[in-house]
Structure formats: structure tokens, C-alpha cells
Amino acid sequence: MDFKFIEGGVTAAKGYKAAGIHCGIRKNRSKKDLALLVSDIPAAAAAVYTQNLVKGAPCVVTQQHLEDNTARAVVCNSGIANTCAADGIEKAEAMCSLTAKALGINPGDVLVASTGIIGPSINLSPIEQGLPILAESLSVEGHSDAAEAIMTTDTVKKEFAVQFTLGGKVCTIGGMAKGSGMIAPNMATMLCFITTDAAVDPEVLKSVLSETVEDTFNMLSVDGDTSTNDMVVILANGMAGNPVIKEKGSDYEVFAAALRELCVKFCRALAADGEGATKLLECRVTGAATKEDAKKIAKSVINSSLLKAAMFGADANWGRVLCAIGYSGADVNTAGIKVAFSSSAGTVLVCQNGAGIDFSEDEAKKVLSEKEILIDIGLSDGGFEATSWGCDLTYDYVRINGDYRS
């Protein structure tokens, strides 16, 4: 399949505009804190939400607004999560109403998201004052400002777009994401807003998003903490003019593959920018008895604090990999496990047939000192595989989260 990554992020697809400003939610005036994304026409829409039982009010309101499977706009603030506040639902609905007023659309066509500190009630005054300015600022070039406005402890913006062909029409899927901490497998993702100009039936859109999330964002972990506000939203306005994807088939497969490519790109970027992280970790599991077993193992290894700490220290402590495999809950023949560490500096095999083998510690140190590390696990149980993404655990993670509210 022919995919091409292009510039433009969340507005790369036809018919989308975005903007981001500092409205006053955050004290630091150099940090944008309010983002807006709008489709020129009503779009089919779907979302996946955090599995945390303590859910942010924006997740609840967005879910309600998506009961008709359509949306025109997404408004998102950073700084305050609007979670566990007594007036949370009221404030989230008000954000939608204020956005709708600024855009001249129905409040039910607005989706809302928030990210930041859990607990405080959100002050609507700066949002009310900022939304008309935000709406006036909407443009195709506004994708970068919007991607910046949704950041919290992120150190870099995450925005990507991919282009492909459906039914002879050039289609695009683009997006922006934020997330650096409180990221763990199983939706936990953070926030991710995806747009496409491909025409996709709403039910099909739900299906392809759920399937994609299972193999991408649900395989991402920074610290094992499932956040309260996580959601992935996708809008499909059909402005590319392709025949509507109504069922599984060749066009569905192309669209699903393109969406997966984009989401893997986000997973890698989010993991690499984990709080305090110095290294991107990718864990690839092959030879598992079932897909579920492969996923359990990949998640368990990437989520191991001991393994993450070893990777920070460039210590080839492969026993921690086997330990994580052993408590993953997967059915594994431990005598058939092979483990290797790889990077741009080379590959070092450290475990064969479930036991340690001789290897050069100096060579392993060199391999593990690179910015991107592959933990390659081979099993002898079947033909299934899975991949997960994460980062190392550093002193800075504790420092960042020791004074997060300040």
C-alpha cells in the first residue's frame, strides 16, 4: 500500500481549520491553553475513551454529543482537567455552548476535551473571552498553534498526516496528539484528534477506530497510570469525494492501514516524549500462541518499571524482561524464549532457550546507549505477534511529578 506522510497535521485533510491561543487558563502567558478544530461541513465522528472509572466531565459530554455520530468542532483546553469537580458536566456543556455561539452552530455538534490538573473547577471567564478570538483565528495554517495549545508536560508538538488513494481520489488522514505522563495500556492514550476527508460510514468509522486503537494506543505506556480524560476522536467529512466506505473490503483495508500508520507514528512520538524520558523503547513479540498472549507480553515488558530503569542506565539486565514475561498472564513455554536488544549501534543477543548466554557487556552498553531501543522477544509457541511502545524511567520523571501542580 502506498502511503505518503505530508505536512499539515490536523488540517492537512480538506475542509478543516484550527487555531490555538493563550486565553488565561494557564498562568504562563507563553503557553497556549485553548485549541479549536472545525470541519467546514458536518462530519461523521467516532471516539474511544479512557477505561478509568473516574472519567473527566469532557469525556461524558463528548460521548453524549456523539450519540448521533456527527460533529463539526472540537474545543480543548489545557491546564485544568475538569475532572472530579462538582460542576464539571455543567462547565463542559458550557464550553460547547460558548464554542457553538462563536461558530454559529449547534452545541450538540461540538465535542469537548480538557487536560491538566485533576480536581479544580474550571474558570469559564477566560474561555468565554477567548473563544471569539479563537474562532476568528481559524485557518488551515492554524494546526501548529492548536497542537501547541493542547500540550501539558509535553516538550514537543505531535502532529502528523498521511496521504493515500481511495477510488481514484487522493485522501488524507491527519491529526494532533498530546501526552507525556499518565499513559498506560488500554485507553489510556492521552488526547488525540484525527481528521480525514475520506468518506466513511459512521458505523464503519467506529469499527476501524476501535480496531486501530487496540493495536496502537492500547499498546502504549509511559508510567502505568491510566488517566481520567483520555480520548481519541476521529472526524470524517467526505470532502475527498471517494465512494463512501460502507463495509469491509479493499477500500476499508487501505483506510485502516493508513490510519494505523498514522497512529503508530503518534505512539512512537508520545513514548519518546514521555515525562523525563531519554529513550524510546519498542517491544516486539513474535512466536506467541495467540494474539492476546503476544499483546499481554509486550505490554507487561514495556510497563515494567525495573526494565525501564535498566534501559535508562543502558544496563542489559535481560532477566527483567523474562520476569515481566512470567507475570504477564500469557501462556508461554519459558524454555523457548529468546531475547535480543537492538538499536542503530547494532544487536546483542542476551537470552536463548530461556537462559542467559555469553555476550559483551561493552557491546550491550553501546547498543543500549542509543535514543531508540528495540526489545526483541522471540517465543516458540505459535505464529502470533504484537508490538508495544514506551520509554525509560529517569530521575526527571520523579522531579516533574513531584511538583506537577506548580
Please identify every residue annotated as catalytic.
189
Q: Of 390, 129, 403, whose CA–CA distance to 270 is shortest?
A: 390
Pair 402, 303: CB distance under 8 Å: no
- Beta-bridged to residue 178, according to DSSP, are 191
The cell numbers describing 207, all together, are 469499527
Q: Of 309, 321, 328, 312, whose CA–CA distance to 356 is shortest?
A: 321
Strands (E), 12-104: 16-21, 34-49, 70-80
d(CA 237, CA 250): 20
SS3 49: strand
User: Burial of 98 by CB count in 10 Å (0-12 exposed, 13-18 middle, 19+ buried)?
Assistant: buried
d(CA 118, CA 76): 15
Residue 329, Ramachandran bin (φ over 0: left; ψ between -120 and 50: alpha; else beta) = left
Integer-rounded Cα Rg, in Å, for the chain is 22
| Residue labelled with grid coordinates 452552530 | 105
User: In the 8-state DSSP scheme, what is residue 226?
Assistant: P
Q: Of 363, 369, 325, 371, whose CA–CA distance to 347 is shortest?
A: 363
Strands 191-196 and 169-178: antiparallel
d(CA 273, CA 228): 20
d(CA 317, CA 300): 16
At 292, give phi and psi (nearest 5°).
-60, -40
Pair 143, 7: CB distance under 8 Å: no
